[in-house]
Amino acid sequence: MPKAKKLLNEPLFEATLAESGVDAVVCLHPKNLFYTTAYPMALSHAIHQRPSGPRSGIAVFTPGGKPTMIVGGNEERVTRDTTWVEDIRVYSEYVDSPIDQLAAVLREVGAARGKIGLEMEYFSAAFFVDLQAQLPHATFVAWDEQFDEVRAIKTAEELSIMKRNADILDELFLEMFESIQVGDREKEAQDRLICGALQRGAAARASGGILQAGQKGFVVHSRTNNPIEPGQIICTDYTINLNGYNANQSRVAVVGPPSAEQKRTYETIRDIHRAAAETLFRPGTRACDIFFYCQREQEKAGVWHHRALLGHNMGIWTHEDPMLVAGDARPLKKGMVVVLEPRFYGYHIQDSFLVTDDSPVLLSDKFNTDEMFVVG
């Protein structure tokens, strides 16, 4: 297995470590562990299926120091062959607790009486109680937001991966739509897209989505297997994961020539989508402002129905912060890849954009969304 590339935004990470005033940071969450160390098993549900698992991988970082990884014996070889981290400590899974090794490393780096950053939203109560008992003089602080903020600003290498993933997903949409015939079942069409993704190297555990035919029957996250019939709007929402990073896009098709009303509705959603991205996807725009813009414009056009979210940041996880929701006032920043997805029932266009100092860069540009794709 080849050594993984270091995708971590190292200058920003080191600056954030220093600014936060911690003596050490503990990394356990799969998305952060993969991002910071390229630990090959970080995204494996078999290993990280719960935050206090007996085979957990853990990383420790100190300001200006070299990282340390703690892994179970079963994962030692693949870790040494893959990660760029040199200091790897091994424990006997199902016999020893990884927290014993973690406490030993934190003492070694001089953090036993210092301030230690933890992913409080993920670190389990069982692990925390154990670690606190072993390091009673340490102060523990949340470091979830810092990880999210660093991970949100993409490096050139990350952008290259994400652009390629977006291209592949658009190719898969085109292949699937071109294959659809009247009478096909929804699942048959969906299976063709997923099969194509797996053949291109996508991770099965993190690739999937929804295809529903018939706008009146559209239900969020419902997986149905109805026949595809003339006149229907085909709504989609798919994520594929390659090389640890996601593409998340939605394309709209119509079975046979669209009606005037179908064309009008699609064009309305399309125009709001494009205007929102062009005018608001700039550094400093608050996530909630994008949500309210789309809501206001859709209500004026008569194509609004309640949505909890209208987009999100994206990377190793599909839904990352900031989220384009009513309650998220965090600003967009240069280097973020943000997904925008206004929708009116089955009319659901979803694209990913790179935030720059100027106009946003459309990453998912291999599928022409000027008009609905006509199938059948």
Q: 244-256 b/e with 16+ CB inside 10 Å = b?
A: bbbbbbbbbbbbe
CA distance 282 to 331: 9
CB 223 within 8 A of CB 210: yes
Domains contained in the chain, CATH given: 10-152 (3.40.350.10), 156-375 (3.90.230.10)
Start-to-end C-alpha separation, the chain: 44
The verdict on pTM exceeding 0.75 is yes
Please report where in the chains the tokens 């990470």 appear, as a residue.
13
Q: List the structure tokens of 249.
A: 């896009």
CB 304 within 8 A of CB 344: yes
CA distance 54 to 249: 36
- Among the listed residues 116, 110, 346, the one whose alpha carbon sits nearest the alpha carbon of residue 210: 346
CA distance 132 to 103: 9
CB 350 within 8 A of CB 341: yes
Please report where in the chains the tokens 């064009």 appear, as a residue.
267
Per-residue pLDDT of the chain (376 residues; tens, 9 = 90+): 568 888 899 999 999 999 999 999 999 999 999 999 998 888 877 666 677 788 899 999 999 999 999 999 999 999 999 999 999 999 999 999 999 999 999 999 999 999 999 999 999 999 999 999 999 999 999 999 999 999 999 999 999 999 999 999 999 999 999 999 999 999 999 999 999 999 999 988 888 999 999 866 566 667 788 999 999 999 999 999 999 999 999 999 999 999 999 999 999 999 999 999 999 999 999 999 999 999 999 999 999 987 789 999 999 999 999 999 999 999 999 999 999 999 999 999 999 999 999 999 999 999 999 999 999 8
